[in-house]
Amino acid sequence: MVFRCSFSGELWKYGGESSWWFISVPVEDSEDLEQFCSHRKRNFGSIRVTVNIGVTSWQTSVFRDSKSKSYLLPVKADVRNKEKLVEKNSYEVTLTVV
């Protein structure tokens, strides 16, 4: 059984100059992900996923944000540069549990 969801999410930056970049997984998809992966969580409650944005695919982990009740998808510089992602713009994301 595989968990897959597709959604549109806004790229946002947390922190200063050497900050982290994220796209928040919508709350409804986060709830489904939480339920599906309750036995697959790793360190700090992270879940390993494969992500597709545009033509770029990579593996990473999503992390639960208790404030927003959603999972946060980190988007590394290589992906942002390759796909020409810009802060505050929305992008189509496909997330699959690895």
Higher pLDDT, 25 or 36: 25
Q: Count CA atoms within 13 Å of residue 58 on its CB side.
A: 16
pLDDT at 39: 72
pLDDT, tens digit, 9 for 90 and up, residues 31-87: 999 989 877 655 677 899 999 999 999 999 999 998 999 999 999 999 999 999 999
**pTM summary value:** 0.90
* Nearest partner of 10 among 65, 95, 85, 94, judged by Cα: 85
> 54 is written with which tokens?
């545009």
Cα separation, 62 vs 77, in Å, equals 16
Q: What fold is seen in the domain 4-97?
A: Elongation Factor Tu (Ef-tu); domain 3 (2.40.30)
- Domain assignments of the chain as residue spans, ordered by start: 4-97
Q: Is 88 left (phi over 0), alpha (psi -120 to 50) or beta?
A: left
Is the pLDDT score of 98 beyond 80?
A: no
